[in-house]
């Protein structure tokens, strides 16, 4: 099984969120899983412009950044673990921005 861990904390390695995500991935590796760890704040992901281009042209986006390569990695894994700090009772802006850009996954899968 392949598991992708995506950290959404702006504190990166210094965060408790990173520590917990790494513990989860380490436990999965002990069970024989292949894991990968990615920090969202190290990627260049722009805001969705809601042009709906990706909904009309499946898996194509006019914004050229790191969002679609990450979406491609997600599709190649069996499980994804999102780890986010909580600020003002919500996920971080890094994760919210990425989730906005990932709506194409739901469109492509028929949701």
Which is nearest to 12 in space by CA: 98, 99, 102, 94?
94
Q: Which residues contact 53 (CB under 8 A, 6 or more apart)?
A: 60, 61, 62
pLDDT tens, residue order, the chain (111 aa): 999 999 999 998 889 999 999 999 999 999 999 999 999 999 999 999 989 888 788 778 899 999 989 999 999 999 999 999 998 899 999 999 999 999 877 665 554
CB atoms within 10 A of CB 18: 20
Domains of the chain: 2-109 (3.40.50.360)
């Amino acid at each position: 099984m392949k598991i992708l861990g995506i950290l959404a904390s702006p504190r990166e390695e210094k965060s408790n969120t990173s520590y917990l995500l790494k513990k989860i991935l380490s436990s999965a590796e002990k069970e024989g899983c292949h894991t990968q760890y990615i920090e969202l704040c190290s990627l260049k992901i722009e805001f969705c412009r809601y042009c709906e281009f990706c909904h009309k042209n499946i898996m194509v986006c006019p914004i050229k950044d790191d969002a679609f390569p990450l979406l491609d990695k997600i599709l190649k894994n069996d499980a994804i673990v999102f780890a986010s700090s909580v600020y003002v009772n919500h996920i971080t802006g890094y994760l919210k921005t990425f989730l906005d850009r990932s709506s194409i996954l739901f469109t492509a899968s028929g949701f």
